[in-house]
Amino acid sequence: MSLTDDIKEFALDLGYSKVGITTADSFNEYIEKLESRQSMYDFYVEDPRQPLLGAEPKKLMPSAKSIICFVWDYAQKSFPESLVGKIGRIYQGRCYNAPPHRVNGARFQLMQDFLKRSGCEVGKGINIPERWAAARAGVTTFGKNNFVYAEGIGSFVLLGSFIVDEELEYDKPTLEVKCPEGCTACMKACPTQAIYEPNKLNPRRCIAFNAWWTQDGKPAGLTSHIPHEIREKMGTRVHGCDVCQEVCPRNQAQLKANLPPDNFLITLAQDFSLPKMLNMTDEFYATRIQPLMYNYIKERKYFQRNAAIALGNLGDPAFIPDLEIAMHDPEELVRGYAAWALGKIGGRPAKQILESSNSRETSESVKEEINMALSNMR
């Protein structure tokens, strides 16, 4: 058996859904596209993971010859109804940035150990464009919504890769958009019109981007501020947005499949109630939220902010007492967004809370949110 066959067999045996192999050559088309949209993607280009450099793997690993790309179908079990529309399926799938003591992290580790045992040097910390690599390795095609689709699965997939110094047998690239002719369902359904042309996304309008990139200290001057116009479109989405994948005909078979329950998710789901998240303690965050949410949002306050937005968008006065508690939160970010949410819910009780909060508030940014909320109520 060749090393290529051996690697593919081991990956499939571990549970990966597909595995393909491509060269370690540069991703020139990706580089061109990213550079031509640099002003929109400045935060990404300037990210410490250096995506432009990662697109030329041999610059970071001169011995690199092959990229082994795998696809993991993270939707093999059903997602609790109470979490859908609140937490993106990929985060519920627990596969992004999974630590080695979790099943997806352990699988990745086993694969890496296997490659090393097989005599491969394995590249470390090289941020290759995974979607382009997977398509070049023949395991996915593109959708106009910018997601990749694996044949027979759909777009609810995690991509991963290993760069190795061995020359392997390469698969036929499938670098193509394979959407049914004339379909624009994803573009029409996007709540913020973030997909402004087929295969072109304005990240700053994307809900998924706004839910997690907007953290203080990110590159290109990104802050924790989410524009008012986007907040209103976020609905109850606390982390991630699946709308442009949910409406996609290429995902309907997967979405309609009768899947077994995910008992882990069922156990945690009750703790993802919006009021609980809004006013959670450090302990609740560490013991109830982080076991599922070890992905991109690293601090409690950002979940609280997003929960406040979701409660505001629900517009239900029953949540006013929860938001009143949040107006006393030590984090000004939480107080500011709770004020916005109270303004969205409106009515006399919400107004009274905003007025009394304003009289004791010391943060200028929170006062600004309060005054804006009050002026919108008049």
- Tell me if 227 contacts ligand SF4 by CB under 6 A: no
243-262 binders of ligand SF4 (CB under 6 A):
243-244, 247-250
Among 26, 36, 184, 267, binds ligand SF4 (CB under 6 A): 184
DSSP per residue, 118-160: TT--B--S----HHHHHHHTTS-EE-TTS-EEBTTTBS-EEEE
Kindly state the tokens that stand for 17. Answer: 């859904």
Q: Which of 93, 143, 312, 336 binds ligand SF4 (CB under 6 A)?
A: 143
Asked whether the beta carbons of 332 and 363 are under 8 A apart, the reply is yes
Question: Binding residue for ligand SF4 (CB under 6 A) from 208, 297, 320, 327?
Answer: 208
207 binds ligand SF4 (CB under 6 A): yes
Sole window of 94-102, 105-113, 194-202, 288-296 interacting with ligand SF4 (rule: CB under 6 A): 194-202
Residue 67 makes contact with ligand SF4 by CB under 6 A: no
Report the C-alpha gap between 79 and 269 in whole angstroms: 10
By CB under 6 A, name the one of 40, 110, 185, 374 that touches ligand SF4. Answer: 185
Q: Whole-angstrom Cα distance, residue 242 to residue 246?
A: 6
What residues numbered 144-163 form the site for ligand SF4, per CB under 6 A? 144-145
Stretch that binds ligand SF4, among 126-134, 185-193, 294-302, 358-366 (CB under 6 A): 185-193
Give the nearer residue to ligand SF4 in terms of CB position, either 236 or 290. Answer: 236
Q: Is 71 exposed, middle or buried (0-12, 13-18, 19+ CB in 10 A)?
A: buried
Read off φ and ψ for residue 376, nearest 5 degrees: -75, -15
Beta-bridged to residue 201, according to DSSP, are: 195
Which span sits near ligand SF4 by CB under 6 A: 45-53, 62-70, 184-192, 285-293? 184-192
What's the min distance (Å) between Cβ of 306 and ligand SF4? Answer: 14
Q: How many residues form the binding site for ligand SF4 (CB under 6 A)?
A: 25
Confirm or reject binding of residue 135 to ligand SF4 (CB under 6 A): no
Confirm or reject binding of residue 28 to ligand SF4 (CB under 6 A). no
CB closer to ligand SF4, 194 vs 238: 194
**From the list 55, 195, 280, 370, which residue makes contact with ligand SF4 (rule: CB under 6 A)?**
195
Q: Which is nearer to ligand SF4, 38 or 184 (CB)?
A: 184
Pick from 62, 180, 260, 330 the residue near ligand SF4 by CB under 6 A.
180
Q: Which of 190, 278, 297, 320 binds ligand SF4 (CB under 6 A)?
A: 190
Based on the shown chain and the rule CB under 6 A, indicate whether residue 342 belongs to the binding site for ligand SF4: no
The owner of tokens 């939707």 is 75
| Residue 183 makes contact with ligand SF4 by CB under 6 A | yes
Q: Residues 197, 156: contact at Cβ < 8 Å? A: no
> Computed from CA positions of residues 26, 28, 30, 35, in that sequence, does the dihedral angle turn out positive or negative?
positive
Nearest in space to 10 (alpha carbons), one of 129, 110, 132: 110
By CB under 6 A, is residue 24 in contact with ligand SF4?
no
Q: Where are the alpha helices (DSSP H) in 190-299?
A: 207-212, 228-233, 243-246, 252-256, 263-269, 274-278, 282-284
- How far apart are the C-alpha atoms of 355 and 350, rounded to whole Å? 9
Identity of residue 21 = I
Question: Interface with ligand SF4 includes 226 (CB under 6 A)?
Answer: no
CA–CA separation, 53 and 58 (whole Å): 9
Cβ within 8 Å of residue 148, ≥6 positions away = 131, 134, 135, 140, 141, 142, 155, 157, 159
Q: Which residues of the chain form contacts with ligand SF4 (CB under 6 A)? A: 143-145, 179-180, 183-186, 190-192, 194-195, 201, 206-208, 241, 243-244, 247-250
